[in-house]
């Protein structure tokens, strides 16, 4: 087992100190420890509502934010102490796919441009024929026909095709990890399936680890192996999707699961849940961050921050309701995840 990336007690805060000293500090990511392993590639979902810190976590993993406290290790080495060469290989090995498949393009260039650029930047090859072969191969891998895709402008492709070209771009660099931040939220529901399917195939066929950032638990359940749920920067629940989604243990995860609009008119939502109170500054919350909205709130929730309780092998929740369980030995939430070697999954359907 060799680790690709490790976060150790990472906290990221915004808005403190500096020239414009302000009282309100936003704790976007609050003491998160996790590991991304490369020998055991899995799909991990990071779920949570806007403001939960999931995009900040993604930026930390991409190295575009530096932790305020705690540290990130890349292949065992402190990220801030990497040499130029190591930093370069890091940037090749982890590739992002962003939310809006249109904004990632320059509308004046043909789509070929986004595929040629990484080859040039990372000097993957100098021969034109080799370059074309690599591009064709990457496009085919995501289910696109090269001569129907290349030579076109971004606006001539559908949202689904545009997003799949982005997946192909990431693939060119043979990354170890793909970080997909809401890759389907801007795409028509009927086209989502093809994109998610191509992401899943990367994981199963090419052994790439995927971090899938979303608020959509239905697709998370369908494509990922493991999940971590964030609320105001804290990981409130983590484990395998098969443990967490059918049987959520943290009241916030329960609210998320209940709020999924199920396509079944016979099972409608219950009463309207309370709104999040953004008036309260993160640093003023002493106890559990969800306590002001929690239907099961207890006295101690307002006073003490709940630790991570291990409910069973593959599920943990940061909630006093589970006090009878023992606390997690290691803060690394990934220890609740299930790795490829432990599971035998149905073979992917190739089409």
Partner 1 sequence: MSTEQAIKTYREGARISDVDALVVEDLSVYYETDSGTVKAVDGVSFVLKQGERFALVGESGSGKTTLAMALMRLTRPPGHIANGNIILNGRDLTTIDEDEMRRARLSELAMVPQGAMNSLNPVMRIQNQIADGILDHLGENDDSPSKQQLQETVQDLLSRVGLRPGVARLFPHELSGGMKQRVAMAIGISLQPSLIIADEPTSALDVVVQRQIMQTLGRLQEGLDASIMLVGHDMGLVAQFADTIGVMYAGKLVEIGPVDEVFGDPKHPYTKLLIQSLPSLQEKKEFIGIPGLPPELIHLPQGCSFEDRCPSRFEKCSVEVPEKIGLGGRREVACHLYEAGGST
Cα angle, residue 309 at apex, residues 298 and 254 outer, rounded to 5°: 60
Q: Does 85 bind partner 1 (CB under 8 A)?
A: no
**Eight-state DSSP code of residue 66:** -
Q: Which is nearer to partner 1, 72 or 256 (CB)?
A: 256
How many of the other CB atoms lie within 10 Å of CB of 63? 17
What does the per-residue mask of binding to partner 1 show for 269-308, with x meaning CB under 8 A? x-xxx-x--x------------------------------
Q: Does 102 bind partner 1 (CB under 8 A)?
A: no
Q: Which is nearer to partner 1, 128 or 264 (CB)?
A: 264
Q: Does 265 bind partner 1 (CB under 8 A)?
A: yes
Distance from C-alpha of 209 to C-alpha of 203, rounded to nearest angstrom: 6
What does the per-residue mask of binding to partner 1 show for 2-21, with x meaning CB under 8 A? --------------------
Q: Which is nearer to partner 1, 33 or 198 (CB)?
A: 198
What does the per-residue mask of binding to partner 1 show for 154-193, with x meaning CB under 8 A? ----xx-------------------------x--xxxxxx
Q: Does 196 bind partner 1 (CB under 8 A)?
A: yes
Determine contact, residues 249/240, Cβ cutoff 8 Å: no
Q: Does 109 bind partner 1 (CB under 8 A)?
A: no
Distance from C-alpha of 308 to C-alpha of 295, rounded to nearest angstrom: 20
Q: Which is nearer to partner 1, 215 or 250 (CB)?
A: 215
Q: Does 262 bind partner 1 (CB under 8 A)?
A: yes
Q: Does 261 bind partner 1 (CB under 8 A)?
A: yes
**Eight-state DSSP code of residue 145:** -
Report the nearest approach of partner 1 to the CB of residue 258 (Å): 8
Q: Which is nearer to partner 1, 39 or 216 (CB)?
A: 216
**In the structure encoding, which two tokens stand for residue 156, read together?**
């001539």
Determine contact, residues 90/64, Cβ cutoff 8 Å: no
Determine contact, residues 209/176, Cβ cutoff 8 Å: yes
Cα angle, residue 156 at apex, residues 151 and 157 outer, rounded to 5°: 90
45 pairs with which residues across the strands? 212, 227
Which helix (DSSP H) or strand (DSSP E) does residue 169 occupy?
Answer: helix 159-172
Q: Which of residues 45-84 bind partner 1 (CB under 8 A)?
A: 49-51
Distance from C-alpha of 319 to C-alpha of 237, rounded to nearest angstrom: 9
- Binding positions for partner 1, rule: CB under 8 A: 49-51, 158-159, 185, 188-194, 196-197, 215-219, 221-222, 245-246, 255-257, 259-266, 268-269, 271-273, 275, 278, 349
């Amino acid at each position: 087992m060799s680790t690709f990336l490790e976060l150790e007690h990472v906290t990221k805060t915004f808005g403190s100190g500096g020239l414009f000293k302000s009282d309100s500090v936003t704790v976007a990511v609050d003491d998160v420890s996790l590991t991304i392993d490369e020998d055991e590639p899995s799909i991990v979902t990071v779920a949570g509502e806007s403001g939960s810190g999931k995009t900040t976590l993604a930026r930390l993993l991409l190295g575009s934010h530096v932790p305020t406290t705690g540290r990130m290790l890349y292949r065992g080495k402190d990220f801030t102490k990497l040499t130029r060469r190591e930093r370069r290989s890091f940037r090749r090995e982890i590739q992002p796919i962003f939310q809006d498949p249109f904004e990632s393009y320059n509308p004046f260039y043909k789509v070929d441009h986004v595929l040629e650029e990484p080859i040039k930047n990372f000097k993957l090859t100098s021969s034109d024929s080799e370059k074309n072969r690599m591009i064709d191969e990457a496009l085919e891998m995501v289910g696109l026909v090269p001569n129907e895709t290349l030579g076109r402008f971004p606006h001539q492709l559908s949202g689904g095709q545009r997003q799949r070209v982005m997946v192909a771009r990431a693939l060119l660099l043979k990354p170890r990890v793909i970080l997909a931040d809401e890759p389907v939220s801007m795409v028509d529901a009927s086209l989502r399936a093809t994109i998610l399917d191509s992401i899943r195939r990367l994981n199963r066929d090419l052994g790439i680890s995927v971090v899938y950032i979303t608020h959509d638990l239905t697709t998370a359940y369908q494509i990922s192996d493991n999940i971590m749920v964030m609320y105001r920067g804290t990981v409130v629940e983590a484990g395998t999707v098969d443990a967490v989604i059918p049987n959520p243990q943290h009241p916030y995860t329960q609210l998320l699961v209940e709020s999924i609009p199920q396509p079944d008119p016979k099972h409608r939502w219950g009463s309207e849940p309370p709104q999040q109170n953004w008036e309260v500054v993160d640093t003023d919350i002493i106890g559990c961050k969800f306590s002001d909205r929690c239907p099961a709130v207890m006295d101690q929730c307002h006073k003490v921050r709940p630790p991570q309780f291990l409910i069973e092998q593959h599920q943990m929740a940061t909630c006093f309701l589970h006090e009878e369980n023992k606390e997690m030995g290691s803060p690394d939430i990934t220890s609740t995840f299930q790795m490829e070697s432990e599971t035998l999954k149905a073979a992917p359907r190739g089409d």
